[in-house]
Amino acid sequence: LQVQVLQNTIDQMMGEPLAADSGAVCESNNTNKDGASTSRANLNKERYISKKPLNATERKKSEKERKARQLRRLRKWLMPKNAIVALHELQGPGMAEFTLNTNGHETKAEIVINNVKYEATAPNKNLAKAKASEKALRDLAFSQMIRVRQQRAALGQQRQQQAVADGDNTIGTDSNTDKVDGSDNDMETDDRIAAEDLPMEHLASFALHKLFTDWEAEGFEMRPQIAYEDLGVNDNQVNKEFIAGLTVDGQHFVGKGRSKKLARKAAAIDACKALFGVEFDKSVLING
């Protein structure tokens, strides 16, 4: 009984006629027969009501909502990613590891992709890895673009040879239909070649990251290409401090820190405060 009632409820929700009941079910549902019939009639009536055509304002609103949904999906899918992340996602879990070699203040990063070695040198390992990854991404993109061009050229030549071989013997409506279908198939083939070979989503994510990074650098480099001076270290062996200085806009600033990097940062903080009125939090020096 419960199974039959549940089936009737599902059928009613789906807009289908109720299944034939046994005697016991009919007896148990006699009190609700009129109500169920009315509900089914109203539901069927709603189902067969033709949809009212949208006017210009409603169509414009519907199109705007559709574009908004597309943009929301696009924002979730297309996120800024640095070169290291983009390359790793493109190559997958089997990507080779970076080889790092530090010499003084410079770090050299090397990685082999498709039997080609890419290397870059930078002041720290993360920047070196990012530069090497960018070289690999650029090389992969160019090589795949060339491959796509060659595949399309070969496909076009094959189509031309096929057209010459077939000739124009077919006449009539069927011929025109075949041409339209062939054109659609050609476009689908071209799109499939590009989709399989060009890693556009990875390149687009890295392009966004690079664009934002460049904008950030332009906004925060108040005085680029400033030369720092290493002024030595104090004589206190317990609390050893390095001293660094810089000269900008005719003024000289000195900073101290437990490392050369922190000493330079302290000098830069004093310069920003004096020249631009920018005050940094003390945690900048504490956290390094």
Distance CA 208, CA 215 (A): 11
Tell me, letter by letter, the H, E, C secondary structure of 175-240. Answer: HHHHHHHHHHHHHHHHHHHHHHHCCHHHHHHHHHHHHHHHHHHHHHCCCCCCCEEEEEECCCCCCC
Least confident of 161-165, 193-197, 226-230: 193-197
> Over the stretch 236-281, which tens digit does the pLDDT of each residue have?
888 899 999 999 999 999 999 999 989 999 999 999 999 988 888 8
Give the separation between CA 94 and CA 160, rounded to whole angstroms.
40
Q: What is the pLDDT of residue 26?
A: 44
Over 88-144, what HEC string results? Answer: HHHHCCCCCCCEEEEECCEEEEEEEECCEEEEEEECCHHHHHHHHHHHHHHHHHHHH
CA distance 242 to 232: 6
Q: Are 134 and 142 in contact (CB under 8 A)?
A: no
Q: What is the pLDDT of residue 21?
A: 46
- The pair of structure tokens assigned to 6 is 């549940």
pLDDT greater at residue 288 or residue 140: 140
Please answer whether residues 1 and 9 qualify as being in contact, where contact means their C-beta atoms are separated by less than 8 angstroms. no
List the structure tokens of 36. 């169920």
Q: Where in the chain is the domain with CATH 3.30.160.20?
A: 64-160+199-218, 228-287
pLDDT digit string (tens) for 65-85? 888 888 887 777 778 889 999
* High-pLDDT (> 90) share of the chain, %: 25
Residue 51 has a pLDDT of: 60
Contact assessment for residue 141 and residue 199, using Cβ atoms and an 8 Å cutoff = yes
Out of 3.30.160.20, 3.20.20.120, 3.40.50.2300, 3.90.1150.10, select the CATH number for domain 64-160+199-218: 3.30.160.20
Topology given in CATH for the domain delimited by 228-287: Double Stranded RNA Binding Domain (3.30.160)
